[in-house]
Amino acid sequence: MTKLFRRKVMKFIACFLIVFASYIIQTTPGLFDAFGVVPILVLPACICIAVFEGEFAGGLFGFFAGLLCDSTSETVFGFNALIFLLFCVLAGLSTIYIFRRSTMNIMLLCLVAIFLRSGLEFFFAFVLYQYENLDVFFYTIIAPQIVFTSLFSLPYCVIFRRLHKKFEPEETRE
Amino acid sequence: MQKFFKSWYFKVLCALAVFSVAIMIRAASSGNADVFLSQTVSVISQPFLKFSSTVTGSVNDFLDRFVHSEENYLKIQELEEKLREANEKLIDYERIKRENEQFREFLQLKETNPDYDFATATVIGRDSTNRFGSFTIDKGSLDGVQAADPVITADGLVGIVWEVGLTYAHVRTILDISVEVGVYDTATRDSGIISGDISLSSLGFCKLKYLPKDSGISNGNLIVTSGIGGVFPKDYPVGTVKSISVDPSGLSLIAEIEPAADIFNVTEVLVIKSFNGQSEGFSGSKEAVLEGGEGE
């Protein structure tokens, strides 16, 4: 096993542990609960992986994190896996071809991803069924969750940037 | 960009996307719990969730104890060291007493309802994307739990088992807009249907619909299950009336109900696996709950 390969394996094990720990934290009752709003921590984590480790790794982690969310979510099993996979691949590609990997851009990508994910769920699970008071529901429940989740993109950005640098091959380090 | 679309990375990611769509179709047609991958992921993650839930509960207990200790400390700072030690022991005693009282309540429930076949369960996870207090418990089909089993606490009805895995089950609460329970007012005997309401669920309340317009229902009245449909046991407390208004159609009354059980903070629940009056031919599926006319 080459040193480079070993570094990669260690890096992805670290990524896996962070994503899995984030899932456990977001699912544990009462742990990260702010006035009844719980963030979807795994999504910003996977977006950051996609940005720093590329669209393929991001896509795989997104798919895995989506499956975890699906196992406790009431959405159709596979919904989060598909959405996370697509968002992470797009996030990875966008930082290769469109954006720089600046913290602001990464936070923006996370905000867009969580907004679209919550928006899609809101549309398919609520708007289509024409429940009453949907606007109140959106502003008091969905919007705070989007904001709360977005706040976590900054610490995840810092963590994955450091992780990326730490496991970068020595000869390519600045 | 073309390089990416021609790479085997792209093909693998496409395959995963197609796979996701396939399992979505399968889940949509037969239910999430019937997807093998769903079962596998849940079974793998469940021990970690249980551990995390236990640790969080212990930490919260510890912090609560600390806050109370500090309050007590201000009150007893003039007392002797012996008394302080006794107070620390008292905190432990209170915790054990509280647990003991909870188990006693369960026992009383069993004594007053000998026909109930219970399974005690711990809440091990709450879905962060759900707004109606749904949660996951640590009992599944291996413990005899089935879909559509009622979930209660000693205080009142909590909800219904929605999906069952081998060692876990997802529970939807009475705050959920998809759950409907046939109930009646113990004071007036007027019956109606309780279901979740989007605007009330965040306050922890649910809605009682289809009450007769001439009903004499008033605030504070106790609402209990009617047992019609055989999904929920008869005469089990659901909640109390908080306010009453006329339905927008003008044909009936609606009431806001405060559930008797503390739905958002419940940590221990009972699953009623069987009871007298349970629907004989009941298939045990969630579809049957909605279509079986529990609320009629």
Higher per-residue pLDDT: B61 or B195: B195
Condensed to tens digits (0 to 9), the pLDDT of residues B240-279 reads 999 999 988 888 999 999 999 988 888 889 999 888 877 7
pLDDT digits (tens, 9 = 90+) for B127-182: 777 778 899 999 999 999 998 899 999 889 999 999 898 889 999 999 998 899 99
**CA dist list (Å): B39 to A67, B33, B81:** 11, 6, 55
Average pLDDT across chain B, whole number? 82
What CATH fold (topology level) applies to the domain A3-167? Answer: Arp2/3 complex 21 kDa subunit ARPC3 (1.10.1760)
Band of residue B192 on the pLDDT scale cut at 50, 70, 90: very high
The candidate with the shortest Cα–Cα distance to B93, out of B105, B81, B101, is B101
Amino acid at B219: N
Q: Which one of B129, B134, B256, B269 makes the best mutation probe of the A interface by having the most chain A beta carbons within 10 Å? A: B129
Min Cα distance B86 → chain A (Å) is 31
> Which residue stretches of chain B are H helix?
2-6, 8-30, 36-76, 81-112, 198-201, 286-291
- In three-state secondary structure terms, B106 is helix
- B 201-220 → A contacts, CB under 8 A: 202
User: Are B130 and A133 within 8 A, CB to CB?
Assistant: no
pLDDT at B285: 47
Per-domain residue ranges of chain B: 36-112, 117-296
Measured between CA atoms, the residue of chain B closest to residue A60 is B13
Query: Which stretch of A11-15, B42-46, B286-290 has the lowest confidence by average pLDDT?
Result: B286-290
Contacts of B267 in chain A (CB under 8 A): 29
Cβ–Cβ under 8 Å, residues B152 and B117: no
pLDDT digits (tens, 9 = 90+) for B218-227: 999 999 999 8
Say what the pLDDT of residue B103 is: 75
What region does A133 belong to: left with phi over 0, alpha with psi -120 to 50, or beta? left
Which one of A41, A72, A123, A124 makes the best mutation probe of the B interface by having the most chain B beta carbons within 10 Å?
A72
Question: Which residues in chain A are contacts of B41 at CB distance < 8 A?
Answer: 67-68, 70-71
Residues in chain A with CB shorter than 8 Å from the CB of B195 are: none
In angstroms, rounded to a whole number, what is the distance separating the alpha carbons of residues B164 and A70? 14
The verdict on a CB contact (< 8 Å) between A56 and B9 is yes
Note the maximum CA span of chain A.
60
Q: Which of B213, B123, B140, B36 is nearest to A70 (CA)?
A: B36
Q: B157 to each of A145, B8, B175, B239, how far by Cα in Å? A: 28, 53, 11, 8
> B134-173 burial, b if ≥16 CB within 10 A, otherwise e?
bbbbbbbeebebbbbbbbbbbebbbbbbbbbbebbbbbbb
Quickly state the pLDDT bin for B66 (edges 50, 70, 90). low
Answer positive or negative: Cα dihedral of B193, B194, B196, B201.
positive
Least Cα separation, residue A139 to chain B (angstroms): 11
Per-domain boundaries in chain A: 3-167
Q: Residue B68 pLDDT > 50, yes or no? A: yes
Confidence (pLDDT) at B292 = 42
Q: How many CB pairs under 8 A join A and B?
A: 141
Position A65 scores a pLDDT of 92
Whether the predicted pLDDT of B291 surpasses 50: no
Q: Which of residues 171-200 of B touch A (CB under 8 A)?
A: 172, 177, 197-199
Q: Do B126 and A141 touch (CB under 8 A)?
A: no
- Per-residue pLDDT at A50: 94
pLDDT of residue A115: 93
- The CA distance from B65 to the nearest CA of chain A, in Å, is 17
Percentage of chain B modeled with pLDDT above 70: 86
Structure tokens at B219: 């605030």
Output the pTM of the full model.
0.65
Query: CB A76 to CB B45 under 8 A?
Result: no
Confidence of residue B281 (pLDDT cuts 50, 70, 90): very low
| Higher local confidence (pLDDT), B24 or B1 | B24
Residue B67: pLDDT band (50, 70, 90) is low
The predicted pLDDT at position A109 comes to: 92
Sole residue written with tokens 């795989």: A60
Task: Report the complex ipTM.
Answer: 0.81
Residues of B in contact with A134 (CB under 8 A): 198
| B24 chain-A contacts, CB cut-off 8 A | 76-79, 82
Q: DSSP alpha helices (H): ranges in chain A? A: 3-27, 42-53, 55-72, 79-97, 103-125, 134-137, 143-151, 153-166
Instruction: Give the per-residue pLDDT at B77.
Output: 66
With an 8 Å Cβ cutoff, are B12 and A29 in contact?
A: no
- Say whether pLDDT at B53 is over 60: yes
B7-36 confidence digits (pLDDT tens):
888 889 999 999 989 888 888 887 766 667
Q: Give the pLDDT means over successive 10-residue stretches in chain A (174 positions).
A: 82 92 84 80 94 92 91 85 94 89 91 92 86 84 89 92 83 52
- Is the pLDDT at B284 greater than 50? The verdict is no
The answer to whether residues A29 and B123 touch, using CB atoms and an 8 Å cutoff, is yes
Is B41–A68 a contact, with Cβ atoms under 8 angstroms apart? yes
Determine, for residues B27 and A78 on separate chains, whether the beta-carbon distance falls below 8 Å. Answer: yes
B window 50-89, beta carbon within 8 A of A: 52-53, 56, 60
Report the C-alpha gap between B266 and B122 in whole angstroms: 9
B31 Rama class: left (phi>0) / alpha (psi -120 to 50) / beta:
left
pLDDT at B293: 42
Query: Given this structure, which CATH class describes domain B117-296?
Result: mainly beta
Q: Which among A24, A55, A133 has the least Cβ separation from residue B198?
A: A133
Please report residues of B whose CB lies closer than 8 A to that of A60. 16
Contacts 24+ apart (CB under 8 A), A118-125: A118/A142, A118/A145, A118/A146, A118/B129, A120/A83, A121/A75, A121/A79, A121/B129, A124/A75, A125/A75
